[in-house]
Amino acid sequence: MRLACLGHCSLNTKVLAATLQQGSPALQMLDLSNNEIGAQGALKLAAALEQGFLPGLQTLHLGCNKIGEKGAQALAGALERGSFPALRVVDQNEIGVRGAQALAVALGRGSFPVLQTLSLRKNEIREGGAKALAATLERGSFLALRALHLSWNMIEAQGAQALADALEWGSYPALQELDLESNTIGELGARALAAVLGRRSISFRLKVLNLGMNEIGVQGALALAGALERGSFPQLRALHLMANAIEEQGAQALVLALERGSFPAMRELSLSKNKIGALAAQVLAGALQRGSLPALQGAQVLAAALGRGSFSALQTLNFGGNGIGAQGAQALAGALERGSFPSLQTLHLRTNAIGDQGAQALGIALERGSFPALQTLTLWNNEIGAQGAQALAAVLEQGSLPALQMLDLGKNEIGVQGAQALAAALERGSFSALLDLRLSGNGIREEGAEALAAALKRGSFPALQTLNLGGNEIRERGARALAAALRKRPCPALRSLTLWHNGIKEEGRLMLEASLPGVAIDW
């Protein structure tokens, strides 16, 4: 037996001990995640490891087990005293500062020549744990280490500085992924990391860099921009900097750095929730349009760049929560229309106040451009009214998005006319791939619900699983229309129907429940 996947099995310590004591010299992967084995279970596992029951172990998954500091210390001791020449992946949970310090000692004293992944997400290792791990990484030999995941650990600026020193003075020729999301590293931590990331020894093989939710601010963004411009990142495919308060100045610096450098593998750039605004969106658009960022995410900064280049690798464009407004959306739309995006699968523009003008521009871009792979379009909470909905409906009717699986127009203002336009497009088009349609909070009322019911009755949605019409005031009349339309199951895959805050009374509820046995209805 090479693999033992025991995740979500509710193992107690006795069962775990009996299982481990059987041993298996051929066992390579042991997954005990999501079992809440606790400290006692970790002690049993540590004993099995130390006694040599699992000599060929390569991968050890212990996520979501509440092993705590004591459990981590026991496992660390086993790793230190045992022999694990094949161990490649280690993850633990809730180990705290002392657990991280014990693990650091074990890693420093033991021999792990092929260790590839060290994952300590959500462990509250804080500054002390980060410093201990950094010291071990700096002094040890981790030539095979590919992924270091330390997100959600509150390591703060000093912890980040210690890791930066370790990256600078240690040797990591295989390092590809660095995930430090949500650690409050701030401007100082970002500066320390930026000084190291710009060096070819780190940048050349780096594929994923996640510094999201770290409060790096404008100055931290400027430092990272300098690193991106100085370094060589031929393999970087994902850069996550969401929710960092980088604002327009930081966003512009980052985009210019990306444009001046070479990032042929870039597929994901997340700058969401950064208060970037329309101006920075235009800057990013310009960079994308000039072909500098073959797979990026952004808005007016994004727009100018997107339209002039070819972005065959771009799969995800996430610019949600940036307040780009109609102007930023228009710039982005122009870039999308002029560029080439054969691989684009996801476009997130939620909470940007693009309004009807932005939606109309986006609709034109989607209709005139080529987006054969687009699966997810999210425009939630954008102040889109009937005119914007009509423009988007035209795109749907023309069949410009053949792969579309999820359309989210929730929390807008499309009203009755917008719903009727969408319904007409849905009725006349073909949507064999559509899985999820979200139109909540749009005030479509009874008339809009009736129009949508007629479209659903036509049966062009064989794959539709989720329909969200919550908060639309469709009332009894709308409920009856939906019940009648769906009675013969024109949407055979439907599993979830959301109808909260619609003023539907008992009669309407009973009709819908009778028409849709087996469908979960959220009232």
pLDDT: which is higher, 482 or 432 = 482
pTM comes to 0.70
pLDDT of residue 342: 86
pLDDT of residue 505: 94
Is pLDDT above 60 for 117?
Answer: yes
pLDDT, tens digit (0-9, with 9 covering 90-100), for 272-297 = 888 776 666 666 666 555 555 433 33
Where residue 265 falls (left for φ over 0; alpha for ψ -120 to 50; beta otherwise) is alpha
pLDDT, tens digit (0-9, with 9 covering 90-100), for 382-431 = 999 999 999 999 999 999 999 999 999 999 999 999 999 999 999 888 88
pLDDT of residue 52: 75
Q: Confidence band (pLDDT; 50, 70, 90) for 309?
A: very low
- In order of 356, 365, 388, 421, the CA distances from 418 in angstroms are 11, 19, 8, 5
Cα 371 to chain centroid, rounded: 21
- C-alpha angle with apex 178: 177 to 184, nearest 5 degrees? 155
Cite the beta strand spans of 197-276 per DSSP E: 208-210, 238-240, 268-270
Among 316-325, 362-371, 499-508, the minimum mean pLDDT is found in: 316-325
- C-alpha angle with apex 248: 243 to 253, nearest 5 degrees? 95
Which of helix, strand or coil describes residue 325?
helix
- What is the token pair recorded at 174? 């295989």
- Domain assignments of the chain as residue spans, ordered by start: 1-113, 403-523
pLDDT, tens digit (0-9, with 9 covering 90-100), for 72-113 = 888 888 887 776 666 666 666 778 999 999 999 988 887 778
- In order of 11, 63, 292, the CA distances from 20 in angstroms are 12, 18, 53
Rounded distance between C-alpha atoms, residue 237 and residue 304, angstroms: 21
pLDDT: which is higher, 258 or 310 = 258
- What is the token pair recorded at 172? 């990591």
Q: What percent of the chain has pLDDT over 90?
A: 53
Range 106-121 average pLDDT:
86
Greatest pairwise CA separation for the chain in angstroms: 72
Rounded distance between C-alpha atoms, residue 270 and residue 35, angstroms: 33
Burial class, 14, CB count within 10 angstroms (exposed 0-12 / middle 13-18 / buried 19+): exposed
Look up residue 5 and give its DSSP letter: E
Per the CB < 8 A criterion, the answer to whether 504 and 523 are in contact is: yes
- Residue owning tokens 């209709």: 367
- Residue owning tokens 């021999």: 111
pLDDT of residue 295: 34
Place domain 1-113 in its CATH homologous superfamily.
Ribonuclease Inhibitor (3.80.10.10)
pLDDT of residue 22: 67
- 403-523 sits in which CATH class? alpha beta
Fold match flag (1-113 vs 403-523): yes
DSSP for 390-448, please give it.
Answer: HHHHHHHHTT--TT--EEE--SS--HHHHHHHHHHHHHHS--TT--EEE--SS--HHHH
Look up residue 479 and give its DSSP letter: H
Residue 481, H or E segment: helix 475-486
pLDDT of residue 115: 87
Q: Confidence band (pLDDT; 50, 70, 90) for 308?
A: very low
Q: For residue 289, give the amino acid letter.
A: Q
Per the CB < 8 A criterion, the answer to whether 13 and 44 are in contact is: yes
Look up residue 52 and give its DSSP letter: T
pLDDT of residue 132: 96
- In order of 33, 53, 113, the CA distances from 30 in angstroms are 9, 12, 19
Nearest to 275 by CA among 297, 245, 254: 245
Q: What percent of the chain has pLDDT over 70?
A: 86
Rounded distance between C-alpha atoms, residue 347 and residue 370, angstroms: 14
pLDDT, tens digit (0-9, with 9 covering 90-100), for 337-373 = 887 788 889 999 999 999 999 999 999 999 998 899 9
Range 245-266 average pLDDT:
82
Q: Dihedral of CA 80/81/86/90: which sign?
A: negative
124 Cβ contact partners less than 8 Å away, ≥ 6 residues apart: 94, 95, 96, 97, 153, 154
